[in-house]
Amino acid sequence: AQSVTQLDSQVPVFEEAPVELRCNYSSSVSVYLFWYVQYPNQGLQLLLKYLSGSTLVESINGFEAEFNKSQTSFHLRKPSVHISDTAEYFCAVSEKGGSEKLVFGKGTKLTVNP
Amino acid sequence: NAGVTQTPKFRVLKTGQSMTLLCAQDMNHEYMYWYRQDPGMGLRLIHYSVGEGTTAKGEVPDGYNVSRLKKQNFLLGLESAAPSQTSVYFCASRPFRTSGGTYNEQFFGPGTRLTVL
């Protein structure tokens, strides 16, 4: 069975600073990888996903994540954060084939301070 | 399209009471899921359905039942609520992926905040 570890439960940063949210996964088969974002008192929104092909994937609001198979990682990065990026970020993995259920990490709360 | 909707948005129950949470989607998706979100725990899968009339257990199914009588609706029931079931419940849906087709991500509803006293 697959599992996801998000190494930091909270990440405080200052506005315009770079940020990296770390995610490692464990699986015995090939996987799809996702980052979801949850703004305060809202549901989850898909931020970006890796299905196949290029290992670097980007979102429309400046985030990017790189799939590293050898290190079983899918870290999320942004070179310059805004106050509006304050949210909780969840990494998730789905094994290819079968029921393709999502398994989530425990989340990382990103707080961007002025 | 309204997407995925959940009813109610908030509910307070007393221990032992029962209730049903409704999830509805208008995207004709085959797969539907129920998760619970607790602080520091992420989202955990309760039950899911791969089509009308079918359901299966997820990671934390105890104390919950589900039904998928219509393709667009997925109901989550608590027969005898316990304080440990205080949580935020999310429903999600996604379309079926044909063999060789592209994986389709899950779409989430806005959540139901349930408190059991």
Angle at the Cα of A15 (from A9 to A17), degrees rounded to 5?
75
B-contacting residues in A 75-104 (Cβ below 8 Å)? 90, 94, 96, 99-104
CA distances from A100 to A33, B103, B110 (A): 11, 9, 22
**B43–A49: do the CB atoms touch at under 8 Å?**
no
Contact pairs from chain A to chain B, CB under 8 Å: 50
CA distance A108 to chain B (A): 9
What is the rounded radius of gyration, in angstroms, for the C-alpha atoms of chain A?
Answer: 14
> What is the model's pLDDT at position A53?
85
Say whether pLDDT at A31 is over 70. Answer: yes
CA-based nearest residue in chain B for residue A10: B40
Of A98, A106, A43, the closest CA to residue B44 belongs to A106
Say whether pLDDT at B98 is over 80. Answer: no
> What is the model's pLDDT at position B68?
96
C-alpha to C-alpha distance for B17 and A33, rounded to whole angstroms: 39
Q: Check: CB of residue A32 under 8 Å from CB of residue A51.
A: yes
Percent of chain B with pLDDT over 70: 95
C-alpha to C-alpha distance for B22 and B89, rounded to whole angstroms: 11
Mean pLDDT of A29-57: 90
CA distance B108 to chain A (A): 6
Q: What is the DSSP letter of A92?
A: E
What are A51-92's pLDDT values in tens digits?
888 889 888 889 999 999 999 999 999 999 999 999 999 999
Q: How buried is B29 (Cβ within 10 angstroms: 0-12 exposed, 13-18 middle, 19+ buried)?
A: buried
- Report yes or no: B40 at the A interface, CB cutoff 8 Å: yes
Say whether pLDDT at A23 is over 70. Answer: yes
CA-based nearest residue in chain A for residue B91: A43
Residues of B in contact with A30 (CB under 8 A): none
Of B112, B49, B48, the closest CA to residue B85 belongs to B112
Say whether pLDDT at B102 is over 80. Answer: no
- Report yes or no: B105 at the A interface, CB cutoff 8 Å: yes
Q: Check: CB of residue B42 under 8 Å from CB of residue A103.
A: no
The amino acid sitting at A58 is E
